[in-house]
Structure formats: C-alpha cells, structure tokens
C-alpha cells in the first residue's frame, strides 16, 4: 500500500494512516473524515469535502476513512458516530465536527488552519531553495517580507539564498537583525556558512596584496587584488578597487581594468553591488 501523499484526497488504511495523518499533518493541515458509503449523510459530506479539497489543492489534505472497511482505525480514534470529521495539525486533532455541515461552516473551519498568502509563498520559496534556483527564491521571499516584514523565518531563508549566490555581506546584514528568540537551527546553519565564507575569502595572497597596496599603491596591485576579491565572492570590494582606478584613468593598464570591471558586472548581474557600480560607471562615461 502506498504511504506517500500523491494527491490531497487520500483513502486511508492501516498501512498509511500514520504517514498521512500523524506525520503528514506536520507539514500541512489534514482533514480526516470517518464515513461509510452506505451512510447517506456521510456520502453528502464527503462530496462537499472533496469539492473543497480540489478548490484548496496544495493547502490541505483530505484523508477519508471508510469505516465499513477499516473499523479498527475508527475504534482507535474513538469514533462513535458517522460522519465524524477532525482537523489534524502537527500530529494532533485541533478542530472538528460531528455529522454533516453546510459548506460555509466547513470553509470557516478550514480558514482557521490553512496557510495564508505569506505562508504559501514561503513554501514556494523553500521549494526554490531545494531546487537551487536561488535568484527565484530571493524574489519570492521578498514578496513574503512585503506582506510580513518582521517574519524571521523569511529573513533567515533570504540570507541562505544570498549566501548561495556569494552575497555574504547581504546575508550577514540580514542575520544581524534576527532576535535571539528566532535563532533556530537554520539560523545557526546560515551563521556557520557565513563564517566559513569569510574565512575562505581571506587568503594569504589577498593579505599580501593588501599589505603591498597599503605600502605602495598602484593600479596594477589594485587590479590584481580586485581579481582575487572577485574569486572569493568579495564582489563589492573588487568593484570599488577597480572603480577607483577607472576614476583616475578609464584606459588604465591598456583597458584591462575596464574589461575586468565590465566582466564582473556581467557575471554578477543580479548582485545589488553590480547594479550600484554599473550606475557609477555610467556616471563616469556620461
């Protein structure tokens, strides 16, 4: 018997009731209805519930238990009359009703437990992170934060997406705003990623070039350090070094500085730093 939810309308048996109801309700609400095909009131209720399940596909699971087939499950849940319906969230019943109900009354129960727009967008963003479509995830999470600016989970997920794209400064700024009460496992994972990225971005070659520039700055040293910065995702620092050289001489190093600057802007076109320095370059050109 199949134990994974392939649809949001599922017939429950002894083989799958734990996976669908008890475990499945940890990720989305599950409305469980105990019914029987020979019971007229049950059949009418199931028709209404199936209609709503189709309408709200992806937002909750309708789990149907045919008590003519699986009486043991009904006994386990203490069901005494048909139809009986219960809403499960996080593995526990939290709402429900006995007998048939009008569609409007069932909708009211559903609305109390279904995810709102921000939560649905956050679920979409989680899927995008898993698919490693990080730019799409950033766009979706920003929509979430437009609806709920203080939602810590969204801020942490946004930091995670920025790290994956090498935007370490943006990620760190986001994590610094997270309150202690919201510092969950994902937060600590993101912090660890930031620290690793920062450590990897401070190589002996970079430190040596920084010391040489401090002692005797030159366009060539700035160019070489900018390339090193770019390779370890320190894009803003790389662009700033090249910009300062271009501000003095647009054709510095026979145009290599300008070419490197343009290559970085193109390669990192989605990075906020690239957008800012593209505007700075235009100001120099025009």
101 and 14 inside one domain: yes
Predicted pLDDT at 4:
40
Report percent pLDDT > 70 for the chain.
Answer: 98
Predicted pLDDT at 115:
80
pLDDT tens-place string over residues 74-111: 888 888 899 999 999 999 999 999 999 999 999 999 98
CATH number of the domain residue 94 falls in: 3.40.30.10
24 and 79 inside one domain: yes
For residues 205 and 228, is the Cβ–Cβ distance under 8 A?
yes
Domain-located, residue 4: no
For residues 109 and 52, is the Cβ–Cβ distance under 8 A?
no
94 and 62 inside one domain: yes
240 and 260 inside one domain: yes
19 and 89 inside one domain: yes
31 and 43 inside one domain: yes
Report percent pLDDT > 90 for the chain.
Answer: 70
**Residue 126 is part of which domain span?**
117-193
Predicted pLDDT at 58:
78
CATH number of the domain residue 276 falls in: 1.25.40.10
Domain-located, residue 2: no
Q: What is the CA radius of gyration of the chain?
A: 28
Question: How wide is the angle at C-alpha 157 spanned by C-alphas 154 and 158, nearest 5°?
Answer: 85
Predicted pLDDT at 5:
42
The CA-to-CA distance between both ends of the chain, in Å, stands at 69
108 and 123 inside one domain: no
Greatest CA span in the chain, whole angstroms? 91
25 and 89 inside one domain: yes
Predicted pLDDT at 6:
44
167 and 217 inside one domain: no
Using 50, 70 and 90 to split pLDDT, how confident is the model at 270? confident
Please count the structural domains in the chain. 3
247 and 222 inside one domain: yes
Cα–Cα distance measured from residue 42 to residue 172, given in angstroms and rounded to the nearest whole number: 55
Single residue among 87, 113, 139 that ends a domain in this structure: 113
Cβ–Cβ contacts within 10 Å for residue 166, how many? 19
Mean pLDDT calculated for residue range 49-69: 92
Predicted pLDDT at 2:
39
Strand partners, 11: 64
- pLDDT exceeds cutoff 80 at 286: no
Cα–Cα distance measured from residue 32 to residue 61, given in angstroms and rounded to the nearest whole number: 8
What is the residue-averaged pLDDT of the chain?
A: 90
Cα–Cα distance measured from residue 62 to residue 39, given in angstroms and rounded to the nearest whole number: 19
pLDDT tens-place string over residues 136-171: 999 999 999 999 999 999 999 999 999 988 888 889
User: What is the per-residue burial (b if ≥16 Cβ within 10 Å, else e) of 210-246?
Assistant: eeeeeeeeebebbbbbbbbbbebbbbbbbbbbbbebb
pTM over 0.75: no
For residues 151 and 145, is the Cβ–Cβ distance under 8 A?
yes
- pLDDT exceeds cutoff 90 at 234: no
For residues 121 and 154, is the Cβ–Cβ distance under 8 A?
no
pLDDT tens-place string over residues 189-220: 999 999 888 877 888 899 999 999 999 999 99
Cα–Cα distance measured from residue 145 to residue 165, given in angstroms and rounded to the nearest whole number: 19
With CA atoms as reference, report the closest residue to 31 among 61, 69, 54. 61
Predicted pLDDT at 251:
93
pLDDT tens-place string over residues 169-179: 889 999 999 99
Helix/strand/coil percentages in the chain, nearest 5: 65, 10, 25
Domain-located, residue 54: yes
105 and 17 inside one domain: yes
With CA atoms as reference, report the closest residue to 209 among 236, 233, 237. 237
- pLDDT exceeds cutoff 70 at 240: yes
Single residue among 170, 193, 216 that ends a domain in this structure: 193
Long-range contacts of 199-207 (CB under 8 A, 24+ apart): 200/232, 201/168, 201/229, 201/232, 201/233, 201/234, 203/228, 203/232, 206/232
């Amino acid at each position: 018997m199949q134990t994974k939810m392939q649809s949001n309308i599922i017939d429950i048996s002894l083989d799958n009731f734990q996976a669908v109801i008890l475990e499945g309700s940890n990720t989305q609400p599950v409305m469980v209805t105990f019914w029987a095909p020979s019971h007229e009131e049950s059949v009418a209720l199931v028709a209404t519930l199936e209609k709503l399940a189709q309408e709200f596909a992806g937002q909750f699971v309708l789990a149907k238990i045919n008590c003519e087939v699986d009486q043991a499950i009904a006994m386990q849940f203490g069901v005494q009359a048909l139809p009986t319906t219960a809403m499960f969230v996080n593995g526990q019943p939290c709402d429900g009703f006995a007998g048939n109900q009008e569609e409007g009354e069932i909708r009211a129960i559903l609305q109390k437990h279904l995810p709102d727009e921000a939560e649905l967008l956050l679920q979409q963003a989680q899927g995008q992170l898993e698919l490693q479509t990080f730019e799409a995830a950033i766009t979706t999470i920003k929509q979430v934060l437009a609806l709920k600016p203080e939602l810590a989970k969204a801020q942490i997920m946004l930091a995670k997406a920025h790290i994956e794209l090498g935007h370490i400064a943006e990620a760190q700024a986001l994590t610094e705003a997270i309150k202690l009460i919201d510092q969950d496992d994902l937060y600590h994972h993101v912090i660890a990623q930031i620290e690793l990225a920062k450590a990897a971005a401070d190589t002996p070659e970079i430190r040596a070039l920084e010391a040489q520039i401090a002692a005797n700055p030159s366009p060539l040293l700035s160019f070489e350090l900018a390339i090193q910065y770019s390779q370890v995702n320190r894009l803003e620092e790389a662009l700033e070094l090249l910009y300062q050289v271009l501000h003095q001489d647009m054709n510095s190093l026979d145009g290599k500085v300008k070419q490197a600057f343009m290559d970085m802007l193109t390669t990192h076109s989605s990075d906020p730093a690239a957008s800012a320095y593209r505007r700075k370059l235009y100001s120099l050109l025009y």
